[in-house]
Amino acid sequence: MLELKNYNNFILKDISFVLEEKENLLILGENGAGKSTLAKVLSNLIDSSNLFFRKQNIKELDSFKRAKLINYIPSRFEVFDDYLTVFEFLKLSCIEEKNNKEIKSIISLLKFEDLKDSYCSNLSSGEQQLLQLASAILHDAQITIFDELTANLDLNRLKEVFGILNSNFLKQKIIITHNLDFAYALKDFKVLFLEKGNLKFFDSHDKFFTQENLNKYYNESVKLINSHLVLDL
């Protein structure tokens, strides 16, 4: 159980919610609403005393336990070494010993065989996102937070990533996305909607994706037609 209690900073306003064990979460909201800031609070990259896992203050955990517990995957991929290869990067992603066979199986899951010896810095933006997903699977944290993981993926890749996120490759997932179709398809996820740093909605997927709520949160520009979302431009 992950709990944030009355968290405030200059962006987020008195945010409280509880994510039960095994629940996954979508964080939605417009540009600048505070989604990435919330993700950084939840992963303790922004220090706070308001975050608890199974009632224990996360601040009290040592860095290894925190790394096992929560992994934040940022929207922008950065490597410290221009000559680090994909395989080497994935090996470094394992915080507990994993053999090369396990790493190779994740490489084939993401169809990365032809790229395994490429330098990470040379990958396309979509390939970098897939590499971050592979890294997250190997890291195998209790909770993985993806900040706009799918922004640069083509449709086939998006479908593959959907399959992975909609299955049990990862334990608990928190996903920030602007892709409403993608969010709508992740039916088992709870939804948290932020507006100007305020938590406006935190409840089930079913309760969020009603025409009434879409009108309210997206200024009547999204229509729910025959179980599909249509953007009314």
Q: Are 144 and 170 in contact (CB under 8 A)?
A: yes
Output the smallest distance, CB 9 to ligand ATP, in A: 9
Output the smallest distance, CB 37 to ligand ATP, in A: 3
d(CA 9, CA 157): 37
Q: Tell me whether residue 33 or residue 70 sits nearer to ligand ATP (CB atom).
A: 33
Which amino acid belongs to residue 149?
L
Q: Tell me whether residue 31 or residue 167 sits nearer to ligand ATP (CB atom).
A: 31
d(CA 79, CA 92): 12
d(CA 165, CA 133): 9
Output the smallest distance, CB 104 to ligand ATP, in A: 34
Q: Tell me whether residue 9 or residue 118 sits nearer to ligand ATP (CB atom).
A: 9
Q: Tell me whether residue 41 or residue 161 sits nearer to ligand ATP (CB atom).
A: 41
Q: For binding to ligand ATP (CB under 6 A), which residues are involved? A: 11, 29, 31-37
Output the smallest distance, CB 208 to ligand ATP, in A: 17
Cα 25 from chain centre: 9
Q: Which structure tokens are listed for 75? A: 């929207």
d(CA 2, CA 56): 9
